[in-house]
Structure 1
Amino acid sequence: MRKLLAGSLVAATVITGAATPARASDAGTRARQSYEALQRYLYQGPDGHDLFLENYPKQPTDQQHSYVWPLREATAATVSIAETSGRYRKDVKDRFAALQLYWNGDSARPGYESYLPPPLGGGGDIYYDDNAVIGLELIRGYEASGDRTLLQRAKQAFAVDTRAWDTDTSRACPGGMAWVDNPANNFRAANVTGLSSELATHLFRITHDRDYLAWGTRLYAWNRKCLQQSPGLYWNDIGYDGTVNKTLWSYNSGSMIGAATLLYQATGTRSYLDNAVADANGALDHWTQGDNLYNQPAIFNAILFNNLLLLDSVRHDPRYRSTIERYADREWASNRDSATGLFHFQSSGGGAYDPAFPAQTLEQSAMVQIYAALAWKQGDLWRIA
């Protein structure tokens, strides 16, 4: 989430393809084809430590392997598609093993680093949003497998994120979570705060440790108080000086829909469900206007969509799935190279098809996640996000 958080998107014209909403079987086929392209062109194989490239073709400025965020999304893609077929179980194990290569437990401030620590790389900063989404994926892996090692790692990831909570009560809107574990950080961000609320609430649901519930409710309440523009829309961040970055991203809508849904499931408090539904309606009213959704990064939309389906498991609304289907069909028709199965977006921020722009592990994984999610059984959606 490095490059995207700091800037704003340039609107792009997207080629509209005629599309009929895909059935679950069609979505499953598309997920498999997109995953096979990810594996063929971006996966580096056992000799490459089961890691991925950042881009295909590899760019002159790329490191030897991807940063941790693309690998997290490749892991999420693998977990999601494994839900639709038993043939990817080994791949799931490989992904979680590779993800652990980014964990630096030797530091006085441990965490998943943005790039591989020694001996495979030179390491990188610890971004709290990376640790939040990794923790969430570890939860999904635990729910699918029962592997308590993954649960323990999710707890460790959340412990990293507790360092992000700002305790300076003199700031405008005290609280909230820093983006990166670096003295230069000077703002509290919606993404890490909302995603960490989801992670904490998942951990409460599993462990019944009320400290996790206290964190989940605290983080959720701060985002609503300090960064909610309107139902379903959340400003990006607030500086230590009180300056608000009013950029809107679809995944901030998604994390708060998911956090409210999980808090409702954890507590039975009806207001959380009401908030989740209101946020879903507000988010869809905004993101389905014009090309708003298509000008967002595909990975941000994948997070929004999974959280809409999580809410759908509690309060069904056909609008959630139909929105995802329309997006998935349009991207299949207009943004995919049929010769390779790779998606080429106009920029790292989304937009129209551009074969001159490299395919990315990040966005290819996002499309796998989106198609796979449409193929999940309704009864399993409670653990999709």
Structure 2
Amino acid sequence: MRKSFIALTFLLVPACLSAQLGGKVYLQRADSLLQRVLSLYEVKKYGLLMETYPRNPNQQITYTANTGSEVTQQEVSFLWPYSAMVSGCVSLYKTSGDKKYKKLMDKQIKPGLDLYWDTTRQPECYQSYPAFAGQNDRYYDDNDWVAIDFCDYYAATKNKEYLKKAIALHDYIYSGWSDDLGGGIYWCEQKKESKNTCSNAPATVLCMKLYKLTKEKKYLDQAKATYQWTRDNLRDPSDFVYWDNKNLQGKIGYAKYTYNSGQMIQAGVLLYQATGDEQYLKDAQQTAKGACRHFLKPQSTVKGEMKFFPSSPWFNVILFRGLKALYEVDKNDTYVKAMIDNADYAWQYTRDENGLLNNDWSGNRKDKFKSLLENSCMIELYSEISEL
């Protein structure tokens, strides 16, 4: 195992914003991590992946609404962590053009994803745990992430199957829109108690991607309405960072997570590009500035004090989607550079003997059980950095 780790320690270079100088480095990092995850987390019985490596015998899932069939023996991961592998594979094909990632997506990752597809309830969509275990909760945000990936994959491959499925998922997601609270999409279909930034912001991004792919104005109109509802109800006016949710009694859940602001930044950029309305760009810039001020905190490291994003890598990667989209428009590299510095430090100093990363990118806190979600998302991060 030590030999494998040594093989993974190549390419420890300073961050740069040039694919010519550093792009190959980041693609190799992404590919290295992809291969490690596929090998270590494999559940051969189903062609799926474990929630953690090593398997945690006392695994407690804290991110579901727990209204579906009880998962008494969790053999494989829930949909959300698995979808991060979808994102990583799609990103690697998009950024590298290497057909081995297309083959992996079409022959392994997508067939695994299909095991989560629920045909017993209408509209059909992905549920939170594979259908072979019975009915389970269905989340509008879980389906957002997959639909966005399908849009990106269709754009790269022109395989109409993925556009068709993205549209079907869009229709499911917007079945969760109601007039309660003046609009907005619920979080969980089986527990319609709140409307969350995490279901509405990515739905806006999805609509904008579908608008770009189809030129159908209905998607642009939906994007505008969803963006406006989220901005009006869940943006903190003091720093422009987004709160988590609003329940049906109108009470706000004031927690702030990096991914919520990240998706609203990306949504704002996409709307600006499509409409030319400068307010969308201003919104994105304000939220990017506020988010980096709010979330970046100083930590002690072997290189001295550095500022790090929170110990929630997947959330941070979704923030990076927004920061990257904004950088490509306004060319202010301050925010993407902060994330790249974090990603470089994590790669150089925090990987374990298996080549996996801790949730804490500063390395000050170690994880015994490495999360599929928090490691597979890094495939996307390194892949996306390669384009800068």
Question: TM-score, normalized by length of structure 2?
Answer: 0.83
- Alpha-carbon distance between aligned partners in 2 of 1:177 and 1:65, rounded to the nearest angstrom: 28
**What amino acid is aligned across from residue 57 of structure 1 in structure 2?**
P
**What amino acid is aligned across from residue 76 of structure 1 in structure 2?**
S
Q: How far has the Cα of 1:95 moved from its partner?
A: 1.5
Matches within 5 A, 1:64-75: 64-75=75-86
**What amino acid is aligned across from residue 170 of structure 2 in structure 1?**
F
**Counterpart secondary structure, 1:345:** coil
Contact 1:344 1:358 in 2 (8 A): no
Q: How far has the Cα of 1:282 moved from its partner?
A: 2.0
**Counterpart secondary structure, 2:330:** coil
Q: How far has the Cα of 1:276 moved from its partner?
A: 1.7
Moved over 6 A (4+): none
CA separation of 1:351/1:240 partners in 2, compared to 1, >3 Å: closer, same or farther?
farther
Map of 1:210 onto structure 2: 217
Q: How far has the Cα of 1:214 moved from its partner?
A: 1.5
**Counterpart secondary structure, 1:233:** coil
Q: How far has the Cα of 1:68 moved from its partner?
A: 0.8
Instruction: Name which of structure 1's ranges 104-113 and 367-376 shifts more when overlaid on structure 2.
Output: 104-113
Instruction: Name which of structure 1's ranges 278-287 and 367-376 shifts more when overlaid on structure 2.
Output: 278-287
Instruction: Name which of structure 1's ranges 18-27 and 84-93 shifts more when overlaid on structure 2.
Output: 18-27
Map of 1:325 onto structure 2: 340
Q: Deviations over 1:299-327 (max 9, x none)?
A: 00011112211222222112133112111
**Counterpart secondary structure, 1:322:** helix
**Counterpart secondary structure, 1:336:** coil
Q: How far has the Cα of 1:205 moved from its partner?
A: 1.6
Matches within 5 A, 1:38-187: 38-44=37-43, 47-60=44-57, 61=59, 63-82=74-93, 83-84=95-96, 86=98, 87-93=100-106, 94-117=108-131, 120-168=132-180, 171=181, 174-182=182-190, 184-187=191-194
**Counterpart secondary structure, 1:130:** helix
**Counterpart secondary structure, 1:259:** helix
Residues paired across the two proteins, number: 347
CA separation of 1:271/1:356 partners in 2, compared to 1, >3 Å: closer, same or farther?
closer
Q: How far has the Cα of 1:253 moved from its partner?
A: 0.8
Contact 1:187 1:239 in 2 (8 A): yes
- Alpha-carbon distance between aligned partners in 1 of 2:192 and 2:364, rounded to the nearest angstrom: 34
Q: How far has the Cα of 1:275 moved from its partner?
A: 1.8
Instruction: Name which of structure 1's ranges 87-96 and 254-263 shifts more when overlaid on structure 2.
Output: 87-96
Counterpart among 173, 182, 195 of residue 188 in structure 1: 195
Q: How far has the Cα of 1:271 moved from its partner?
A: 1.9
- Alpha-carbon distance between aligned partners in 1 of 2:140 and 2:87, rounded to the nearest angstrom: 18
Runs of 5+ consecutive residues of structure 2 not aligned to the other structure = 1-11, 17-21, 60-72, 300-306
Q: How far has the Cα of 1:52 moved from its partner?
A: 1.1
Question: TM-score, normalized by length of structure 1?
Answer: 0.84
**What amino acid is aligned across from residue 344 of structure 1 in structure 2?**
N
- Alpha-carbon distance between aligned partners in 2 of 1:361 and 1:178, rounded to the nearest angstrom: 26
CA separation of 1:294/1:282 partners in 2, compared to 1, >3 Å: closer, same or farther?
closer
- Alpha-carbon distance between aligned partners in 2 of 1:343 and 1:300, rounded to the nearest angstrom: 15
